Every structure is written in C-alpha cells, then in structure tokens.
Amino acid sequence: MDMNSPLETYEIKETIGKGGGGTVMLAFHKRLQKKVIIKQIHDFVNINDRRTEVDILKNLKHSYLPQVYDYFVIDGISYTVMEYIEGVSLQKLLNEGRKFKESQVIKYGKQLCEAVEYLHSQRIPVIHGDIKPDNIMLTPEDNICLIDFNISGISEGKSAYTTGCSRGYSAPEQMEAFFRISNAVKSGNAGLKSSADLSEETEVYTSEETEVYSSEETQVFDEAGAMAKPVSKEEDILKIPIDKQTDVYSIGATLYHLYTGIRLDKADNKVLKANTSEGYLYILNKALSINPKDRFASAGEMLKALNNIYKKEKKYKMMIASQAIVRIVLFLFMIVGIGLCSYGYQRMKLEKSDLYDDYIVQLEGYAAGDSYEEFQETYDLAVSLFPDREEAYYQRARFLFVSKKYEEDIDYIEQIHSSGSILISSETNSRLYYIEGNSFYALDLYEEAADSFEKAIQHDSNDGNIYTDYAISLAKIERTSDAKNALASAEEHGAEKSFIYLAKGEIEYAEGNYSDAENSLKQSIEYSQDDYKKMRAYSTCAKAMMKDNTIENIDKTISFLDEGILTVGLEYRSYLINILADACGTGYSISGDSAYAEKAIDNYKALIDTGWANISTYNNVIILCSYLENTELALSFMEQMQKDYSENYITVKRMAFLELEIQNQKDEKDRDYSKFVEYYNDTKSKYEEQSKGKTDPEVQLLDQDYQKLIDGNWIEGE
C-alpha cells in the first residue's frame, strides 16, 4: 500500500459486508485508537467535483446517525469513514426470531423518521436510498442508529441518485428504474421482473384475524456483474433517481418487517394482526402507497403522524364526531334531569365521567407545536362536563408551558389559585406551582421562580426534583448558601442524578467556579433523559466555557453547542441556536473573522425561519449584517422586524441606524437624511414611553449621531 495513502491511517480488521453499493470493512483508527467503519463505495467519483457534498457528510451530527469522520478518493474509488456503533442490527435480531411489539416499532419508527428528516433537511438534502433493518443498529440503550448512508445519495442539483436497490424495501419506482436502466446497460439479463410484476407485489393492508410471523433472512437484491465490483467510468454507473418519498416508502417497509417478522415482498397474505391499532395501520398504508404522491410528503410528516397516532383511532374519531351530539345530550340532561329516575341519572353520570376521562387522555397527547385551537376546544368540552375537576386545568397549564406561552401560563395558574370554585388537591397544586416556577424561570424572573418552587415544595415536600429547580433559582439570584441547602434536600429526597448535577453546576457557576461548573453540567447532560433539563445544562455550560473570552474557548463553545442542538428535542433547539449565534457573534468581535459573523447570521436566520425569533434576534442579525456591510440582507431582516415589532422603539432605533449607514455610503451630493430624522424622532418618542426609566446606550449613540449631523449642517436642529 502507498505510505501516503489515506488508508494507511487505518488498520483493516475484516470485511463485514459486501453488496452492490459497496464493501464495508471494520478498521482501527491508529491515531484516535478507536474502531471505525470504512465503506468502499462502488461509484466512480471525482472528489473535487463533489466537495460540497463531502463537507455535508462530514458535518452531519445526530443522535440516531453515526458520525462521519472522513471521506477520500483513491484511484476514482470513494471511501467513507464512519463511527463504529456498538449494538446489533435489526436484521440480525429478526433472523434470530425476535418479535417486536407495536409500541416498540412505533418508538423505533419515530427515531428513524427523525434521523431521515434530518438528512433530508440539509442545505443539499441527503437521500439515504437504502433504508432496511440491515442498515439499522439497535444500541444497548434501546435506540436505533441508521448506518450506511453515503455520498451516492446526496442530491445533485434538484435530483438525487443511487446505484442499486434492495428487494422488499426499495420503493416500486426505485426498483422499476433499476431494472429499466440495468437492462439498458446490460441487455439480456435473465431473471429480472417487469415493473408491472413489481407493482402487484404491494397492496393495501387490512387488519384481520390472520397473524403473519416468520423469520426469513433479508436478501439484498444486487445486480450481478457490473454492480458487484467498482466501475471505472462515470458513464457506466447505474444512476437511479431517488427522492424523499422513496425513503418514506423504505421506512414503511422496514416498520412492516419489524412488526410482522416477514419481509414485505415475501408476505403472500399481506395482513396484520387483529389487534393492530388503526393509527399504525393508517401510517403503514400511507407510507407504502404505490403512487409516491399518496405517501407522506416527507419523513417529518410521517414523524408527526406517529406522534399523533392516537388521532387515527376509532375511539378518537367517534369522540370527535360525537362532540356536537354530546352538547345536545348535556343540554337535554339539564332540562329533564329532575324527572330522570335514579338509575338513569347514575348512568348519565358514568357516561359523562367516561367521556371526561377520554378528553383528558386526548389533552395529555398534545405536544409543543400542536394546534392551540384544537386543544382549547377539547379543554372547553372537558370543563363543561366537570367544572370542579382539576385534571383539565392541569393539562392546560402544562400545554401552555410546552407551547412557550409563559406569561399566559402564569396568569392562568394564578387564576386557578384565586378561584374559589375549583378544589385543587395538594399534589396537583404542587405540580401547578412547579409549572409556574419553570415559566418564571424561562422569562428570567428568577426570584419569582424561586417563590413558586418554594410553594410547590410546601404542597409536596417529597419530590427531590423540585428542590433542584429551587436550588437553581436561588443560585441565579446569588443566594448560594440557601441554594446549597436546597440541593442537600434534593439529594436527601432522591432527586435524579442529572438534576443534581445541573443544580451543582448552576451553584458553581454563580460562585465563579467556571471549570467545576462545566464539569458538573456535562455530567448532567450525560445522565439526562429530559430534553428541557438537558437544554438548560447546555446553556449554562456554554456560558461557563465562554467566561474567558479567548478565541480558543469560543471555538470550543461553538463545537459544544453544535453537538447540543442535535441532542435536544426540536422544541428546545431554539434556545441553544440563539446562544450559538451569540457565541459566533462574540467570535467575530474578538477575531474580526467574517466567518464567525456569517455563521451567526445563518443561525439567527434559522431562528427567524422556524418562527423562534424574538426582537433581540432581529436586532443582533441586523447589526452583524451592518458590520459586514451587507445592507441588502440587513434591509430584508429589517422588513420582517417591522412587520413583527412595528411599535417597539428598538425596531425604529435599528431602522434609524440602518438609514444613517445607507446615506453615509452615498456620495455627499446624493445624501438625504430626512428619513433618518423621521426614524430618530419616532425612536425618541417610543423610547420615552417604553423604557420605564432604563437607559439604552444605543439611544445615547443615536443622539450623538443626530448632533453630528446638525453640527455638519446636514440637518436643521430643533
């Protein structure tokens, strides 16, 4: 082997897989001293032509995907080096006869959809093209890891291509294209089916009494001959078009195999077990539709369906359909209630109670991002049945919190406590105060948060986790001695490890022990199963890492937050993206390197595009655009800021600065500061109304700029 070859970095241990897509080898990275997986891809490629795609692969970071360490080309053959994943493939488990419950398959399906949606959402989408149990590892933590994605599935312009397919998992259009193209390249190949034959192999599934279970080995269909070895010319490659919906089909086929124990193309009687839920049945049918247009539009849409699977249940549909009838029945019940016999009255009470319980189950199923109007309608129906029962009130408080409606949540909880008509148990009171405390905390109102957590403890003094949040809030207001006492109580009452380390880290941070804080917070992240707590640990840890504002620490923090964004749930990523953008902005202010500013702008833009932005987001991104002298981009953000925050003085202040910059860039003879004067006066007026006695240094700078224009005779003073 050439001593300068990139392969010299690795010690090849064994070949662990071979197929039409490539050869997979287990290797040992000599410098990093760790196992890795090397895939030799059967695809002729020029690395210089695909540098962008290579960079995308190397920057992929997701909990359910292996890290790509390296990509290189030797003699026209490309190699991908990936993280070695501990665990066992789902295919091996199927071969061993493992049976998976519906709940397990749904869990793995959600993780799979999340990973695939992440691949698809890259700036240049990565289409996997070969999703199947053999390419999914099950880790010791009972989570999946989708492996064997490579550069052959990266989009080229508006299209993406792969070089093969897997019978029983690949979408019909992918199989059809494979046969059509391979026949064109290699005429007279026996044994290939027509597209018509393929179409008949997939049909709509129904839930009947028949159970289908077997343990048959999945065989990847590889085209013989040309596809079994690397090709030497780009024109010899079978380039099969694939897209997001081919991956959706493969996800469906994989979930079918896991649930039934039999590969899709080998299932003669395509029926599912009698107790299969209607929601799961619907999702499989939609994902496995022959026509791509009838499938889920994306893995993200399929993930949403899996998260809301209960909404497809017959019981749920009947409940929704009967809501209007329920209102009439309740009305009639009130009218004729006096005349009902005791038996009828008791029967109606039981029916009301059952219906109320159904509503509560439905309310519990709502998550962040779900329709607020739908939730409110169900909540109103529940309260109309039993205004004096507490469950619906708690569910609304929880939903407002996860929907980030913190101020509304605080007002709502205070209304509950001030109402004399609702009897709240001590346990539920504790839970309500705990939610209120977290809402105050999210608004940076730490003293109020501490008061709420203290009230939660008064109602339930045995929940150790509440003590940890109490300790953190006390640390935020520099009552570190009290915080340590609260932490001791948390440990005494059996608080979770991740909560303990989070509180320790916050106390150490408050005392200025930033290195200790960093270590404790990283321990919290390692133990945490709670995305909200994990996000908080990442946030404070990043601040601790940046306390010594060296460019080395900034780079370390940026890398740390990049990792964190991929490990917390979607609903909490906005917090970390905002901190990451701020860190990049700090990197720019320290180094002057525009790459930091551009990364900051990209992250602020991500917040804006996903609806997570606030007025500070717009303010910061426009300032950065101004520093880079990108007036056009600054104006585009300014336009959106004016739509969302037109009455806030910060908006007109920013517009005043931007207008001043625009005029200063012109030749002196072309300058016109009349708009600046208009924005300046508007800023001063709104500032007086909104500042509440607080001083804004930027307004003082604006005053100075205004005076300079007067002194230079550009404008007339008042």
DSSP 194: P
Q: E-strand spans in 313-436? A: none
Q: What is the pLDDT of residue 409?
A: 95
Instruction: Return the structure tokens found at 689.
Output: 């109304």
What percentage of residues in the chain have a pLDDT greater than 70? 79
What's the whole-number mean pLDDT along residues 649-663?
A: 94
Note the maximum CA span of the chain. Answer: 97
Catalytic residue numbers read 130
Q: Is the pLDDT of residue 197 over 50?
A: no
Output the average pLDDT for the chain.
Answer: 80
Which is more confidently placed, 91 or 367?
91
Q: Per DSSP, what are the bridge partners of residue 24?
A: 17, 39
Residue 221: the pLDDT is 31
Q: Are 202 and 169 in contact (CB under 8 A)?
A: no
- Taking CA atoms, 568 is separated from 305, 614, 692, in Å, by 20, 21, 37
Q: How many CB atoms lie within 10 A of CB 232?
A: 10
pLDDT in tens, 382-437: 989 888 888 899 999 999 998 889 999 999 999 988 876 667 888 888 999 999 99
Assess contact for 439 and 409: CB atoms under 8 A.
yes
CA–CA gap between residue 126 and residue 23 (Å, rounded) = 20
Torsion-angle region of residue 33: left (phi > 0), alpha (psi -120 to 50) or beta? Answer: left
pTM: 0.52
C-alpha dist (Å) from residue 421 to 62, 303, 393, 586: 49, 41, 12, 53
Q: How far apart are alpha carbons 22 and 45 in whole angstroms?
A: 13
pLDDT of residue 29: 84
Q: What is the pLDDT of residues 537-585, one digit of tens each?
A: 999 999 999 988 899 999 999 999 998 988 887 778 888 999 999 999 9
Do 538 and 561 meet the contact criterion of CB atoms below 8 Å apart? yes
Which tops the pLDDT comparison, 65 or 529?
65
Confidence (pLDDT) at 327: 47
How is residue 390 annotated by DSSP?
A: S
Q: For residue range 497-507, list pLDDT tens digits in order.
A: 999 999 999 99
- More confident of the two residues 518 and 324: 518
CA nearest to 393, candidates 355, 419, 354: 419
Is there a contact between 242 and 129 (Cβ–Cβ < 8 Å)? yes
Q: Which tokens hold the place of 135? A: 């390419």
Q: Are 566 and 61 contacting, i.e. CB atoms less than 8 angstroms apart?
A: yes
Residue 346 has pLDDT above 50, yes or no: yes
- DSSP state string for 35-51: EEEEEEEEEE--GGGGH
What is the separation of C-alpha 472 from the centre of its chain, rounded to a whole number of angstroms?
Answer: 26
pLDDT, tens only, 170-180: 888 888 777 77
